[in-house]
Structures are given as structure tokens and as C-alpha cells.
Amino acid sequence: MSRQRKKRGRNISGILVLDKPTGMSSNGALQHVKRLYNANKAGHTGNLDVPATGLLPVCLGEATKVSAYLLDSNKAYRARCKLGIMTTTGDATGEAVKQMDVPEITESTLKRAFNEFIGEIEQVPPMYSALKHNGKRLYELAYKGIEVERKARNISIFNLTLIEFSHDEFEIEVSCSKGTYIRTLAEDIGQSLGCGAHILTLRRLQAGPFEESQMITPDKLQDIAEQGIEQLDRLLLPMDFALMDFPEVRLSEDMAYYLCQGQAVTVSGLPKSGRLRIYNNSEQFLGVGEVSEDGLLAPKRLINNDLTGTSE
């Protein structure tokens, strides 16, 4: 009996900025978008915990080739935190492991505590995280009651703003570098105040160039899908939008040809180093290039523009 060939999805490329709801995994959100678009390929650009909400860029088709660059981007979050209780997970889903009296804390006291964490700091990742230890995810070990030593990592907190404060709860907005755990930040703030803390809610507001105003919820996406696939396609951002921090370079027809064959090319006016967005003379995005040690423009991650349309 012959095996039935799996039907391929659409060759559709672009980035959808999803507003992930609480209770949905990042992979579940990804599969929801992929199904609605009937896309042949999809990937997200940085995991959000199941209880967390907010910005999750989903890359479709050839846009998955730029997703790795978004993983390195800075992020912004809003978190509501509770003082006096520490949990196994650092958030409200975990079991309380330590309860302490909350001292008399003023808004000024809290803001002074924040100052300790602004700038480049070291942070120890939580056990309930997707980082690996000897090939195992830390959260897999944590669920078995196993705790291992984790090395502190350098992170940067660019801004830490107090939004709201009551006796034992406060809300903050944080802009930070990649690899920052807001759960750990809340715990560390609580420790500095002598009473511990955990987060009640967490929402991602920004990742690289993507902002809260661009987000769309899965329910709204479903409603638009019922109007037809063309309406869905209009929601997609071009894949080079994710790379707007990279300088751009435009190539002649000949240079674009050789670069797309995998060859480095000589281009005048290049920076001394770094990655660039590459376009041909028809303003078609070709992918990401990198300045080599000898000053040539070398291909780094190229787009197959034959696979960026909407054909089946």
C-alpha cells in the first residue's frame, strides 16, 4: 500500500505580531497561526511562558530565516509583583515556599531598590527555564525536584519604571537585554527589600522593532480568517522589518547575482564590520550579509524569493 503524500502548505512569507493569551503555549500559538495561514513553514522568535501574555512575533515561510536575529533583540515587559511570598517557579503558578512579613515600604524605598538593578548586572537563571544542563531542560529537572547550580549571566536592565504601588504589590515596566528573566528580577528586588517576591502577571510589550500597537489576538485573527486568506495576508509585516537596526546596502544586478551564488562581492562604502540588509536594484530584499575581514560583503542568510509568494 503506497503512502499518501503529505499536502504542502502555502509558500507565504512574512511576520505576524501575535498577542499571546495566558494559558496558551508559545508553540500552541505558533501552530494556530500556521494553520490559519496554511503556511508550509513557521517559527516564533522567543518563548513566552504559558501564564504570560503579549508580543510573540511569528515568522512564516522564508521569514523564519530572520528569526534568529530577533532572539538577540532587546525586550520590554510589564509585570505585577507581590511581596512577601516566594514560589517554586517565581510566579503565581508555583507553590509558596517561603512567606515573610512585608516591612513598611514607601514608593521612594521601592525606587531606591530598583536602582541596584539598572545597568549591566549578573543574574542567575531560574530552575524553571528552558536552559539546558547536561542535555536536559532545567524545568524538566525542576519538576523532578532536582536543583542544579546555574552560572550567573551578564544581562542589562535599561529602564525599570514603577507604574503602580500598594502595600504588598507593585507593577513595573522593564526594558532589558536578551536572556533577562523578569521572574528572577522580581525575586531579587524582593530579596533586596528583605521579604522576597514573585510575579502575579507578566506581559511582553516589545521585542526588537515590534511593539504592542502591532499585536493581534488569536480570536481577532480567527475572525479575519473567516473573511478570506487575502485579508489575513494583509496583516503580515515584511521580513526585513525585523532587521531595521541593520544598515542597508543595495547591489547592482551583477553583484546581486554573484552574491546569491554564494560569492563575496566588493561594495564601496561598507562599514568596517557587522551585518547588513541586502537589496537588489529593484529594491527586492535578498537577505543578510556580513562584512568579512578583508572588507568584502559576504552572504550570511539569503532569502529564496521564489518561495515568498502566495502560490500553492
**Residues classed as catalytic:** 49
Give the span between the Cα atoms of 111 and 113, in whole angstroms: 5
Give the span between the Cα atoms of 170 and 109, in whole angstroms: 12
Give the span between the Cα atoms of 274 and 292, in whole angstroms: 8
Closest to 280 in 3D by CA, of 267, 271, 292: 267
**What backbone phi and psi angles, to 5 degrees, belong to 278?**
-115, 135
The residue count for the chain: 312
Joined together, the cell numbers standing for residue 204 give: 511582553
For residue 65, the 8-state DSSP code is: G
Torsion of Cα atoms, 96 then 100 then 106 then 109, to 10°? -90
Give the span between the Cα atoms of 273 and 259, in whole angstroms: 17
Q: Taking every pair of C-alpha atoms in the chain, what is the biggest distance, in angstroms? A: 75
